[in-house]
Structure formats: structure tokens, C-alpha cells
């Protein structure tokens, strides 16, 4: 079975600092990878996705992620965070069919 | 479009009572998903429908849980009888196409269920 590991449950960072949220997946076959964001008291929304092609994927709100097949990683980065980026971020993979398997989530806390 | 609409937003019920959660997907979307979110288990897919037909219910925890989609614009998730361990946030999501192939899943704001 495919799984997703988000290595940090919480990441505190100061405003305008860079941030990296780590995600590793286990799979023996090609997968599609996603990052979703959940703002307080909201549902999840798609940040970015990797299906094929360039390993560097750009998403909304200045986020980007890099797919690394050899390290089975899909880390999310932003060069300069804002207070409004405070949220929980979920990495997800699609094993097969119309399904998404989510990681446990990483809470990003941006401090002023 | 107003997005995926879930009701109620909050539900507090006593153990043993029946609970019904409701979802209206985005018009035109052909896939609908029910997820449960808890601190202990994170986000779990309970069931999903394609064109109103249940495709995979392997995530439904037990027979106390049931889901229906009588038409393309409405779905329910029922718990009977409810237990304290069912306390969680339940999300409904919909998509136009296969989320596993990159189609975005649109989530509702969730129903926070508390069973006392």
C-alpha cells in the first residue's frame, strides 16, 4: 500500500523567512503527487500537483515543490512566508483510481 | 457556484442517536467523496461515488456508517447508532473527473460532529 510521511507535525517560522515542508512517499510504481492547504475552519484546497514533466512545480500563493524520484520526496517550499500562510499543509499521493491518500499534515505557524 | 455545501456545520448529539450529514456537490461534478478528519488518524477516505454510484466504500469503518447519493446534487452520510469515537470533522468533496490523475478535489467546510 502506498503511504505518505510528513516529517514535521509543526513548523514555526518568522514572517519573510523561507520555509520547507517535507514529504516522503512510498511507492513501487509511478505516482501523482499533490499538496493541499487547509486554512482554519476551512476545507482543503489544492496548492499544486506533479503529474509528469518538469520536477519543479509551481503552485498558488508563491509555493513550489520539487519531485525527487530517487529520494521519493516531494518537499514544499516558499522563499518568503507571510502571516496569511499560517495553515495546515497536506501532502497526498494517488495510488490508483479516483483516490487520494493524505499524509498526517504539517501545521505551518508564521510569527511576526 | 457556491462551492461544496455541507450541513450542518456543527452537530452535537448523544451516544446512540442517529446522525445524518448532508452534502451538495458543485454542479456538474461527477465524483463525490466523504472524508473523516481526526487528530489520531488524520484524513481518511470513507467512500466515494462516481456518477452517483458508490465505487469504493472500503474506508467505511463499520456497519453503523452508511452513505447514499440519490441524485447528482445530494449525498448523505448516516451514522446509526452514533458513538463518542465517531467525533470528528467530516468533509465532503467533489470533482469533475479523476482526482488521482490530477483533477482538483473541491472540499466543503466540513461538519464538526461531537458525540457525547
**pLDDT above 90 (res A89):** yes
d(CA A81, CA A62): 9
Q: What is the H or E stretch that residue A63 is in? A: none
Contact check, Cβ <8 Å, A45/B107:
yes
Contact check, Cβ <8 Å, B50/A98:
yes
pLDDT at B99: 82
Contact check, Cβ <8 Å, A41/B109:
yes
pLDDT at A88: 96
Query: pLDDT per residue over B60-75, tens digit each?
Result: 988 999 999 999 999 9
pLDDT band at A1 (very low <50, low <70, confident <90, very high): low
* Among A46, A52, A101, A97, residue whose Cα is nearest residue A76: A46
Give the closest-approach CA distance of B47 to chain A in angstroms: 10
Query: pLDDT per residue over B21-35, tens digit each?
Result: 999 999 999 999 999
- Sort out which chain A residues have CB atoms less than 8 A from B31's CB and list them: 98
Q: Is B25 on the interface with A (CB under 8 A)?
A: no
d(CA B46, CA A29): 24
d(CA B21, CA B82): 12
d(CA A92, CA A35): 6
By Cβ distance, the residue of B42, B99, B108 closest to A100 is B99
What is the rounded average pLDDT of the residues A96-107?
86
Q: Is the Cα dihedral A109, A2, B101, A33 positive or negative?
A: positive
pLDDT band at B1 (very low <50, low <70, confident <90, very high): low
**pLDDT above 80 (res B82):** yes
Helix (H, G, I), strand (E, B), or coil: what is residue A11?
strand
**pLDDT above 90 (res B98):** no
Amino acid at each position: 500500500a502506498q503511504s505518505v510521511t510528513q516529517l514535521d507535525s509543526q513548523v514555526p517560522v518568522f514572517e519573510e523567512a523561507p520555509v520547507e515542508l517535507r514529504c516522503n512517499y512510498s511507492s513501487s510504481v509511478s505516482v501523482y503527487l499533490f499538496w493541499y492547504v487547509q486554512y482554519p475552519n476551512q476545507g482543503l484546497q489544492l496548492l499544486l500537483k506533479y503529474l509528469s514533466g518538469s520536477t519543479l512545480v509551481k503552485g498558488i500563493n508563491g509555493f513550489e515543490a520539487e519531485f525527487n524520484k530517487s529520494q521519493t520526496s516531494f518537499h514544499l517550499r516558499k522563499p518568503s512566508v507571510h502571516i496569511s500562510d499560517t495553515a495546515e499543509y497536506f501532502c497526498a499521493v494517488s495510488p490508483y483510481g479516483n483516490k487520494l491518500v493524505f499524509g498526517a499534515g504539517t501545521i505551518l505557524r508564521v510569527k511576526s | 457556484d457556491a462551492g461544496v455545501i455541507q450541513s450542518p456545520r456543527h452537530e452535537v448529539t448523544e451516544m446512540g442517536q442517529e446522525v445524518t450529514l448532508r452534502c451538495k456537490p458543485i454542479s456538474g461534478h461527477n465524483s463525490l467523496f466523504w472524508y473523516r478528519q481526526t487528530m489520531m488518524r488524520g484524513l481518511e477516505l470513507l467512500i466515494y461515488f462516481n456518477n452517483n454510484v458508490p465505487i469504493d466504500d472500503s474506508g467505511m469503518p463499520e456497519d453503523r456508517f452508511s452513505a447514499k447519493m440519490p441524485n447528482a446534487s445530494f449525498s448523505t452520510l448516516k451514522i446509526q447508532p452514533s458513538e463518542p469515537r465517531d467525533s470528528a470533522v467530516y468533509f465532503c468533496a467533489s470533482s469533475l473527473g479523476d482526482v488521482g490523475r490530477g483533477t482538483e478535489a473541491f472540499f466543503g467546510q466540513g461538519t464538526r460532529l461531537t458525540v457525547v
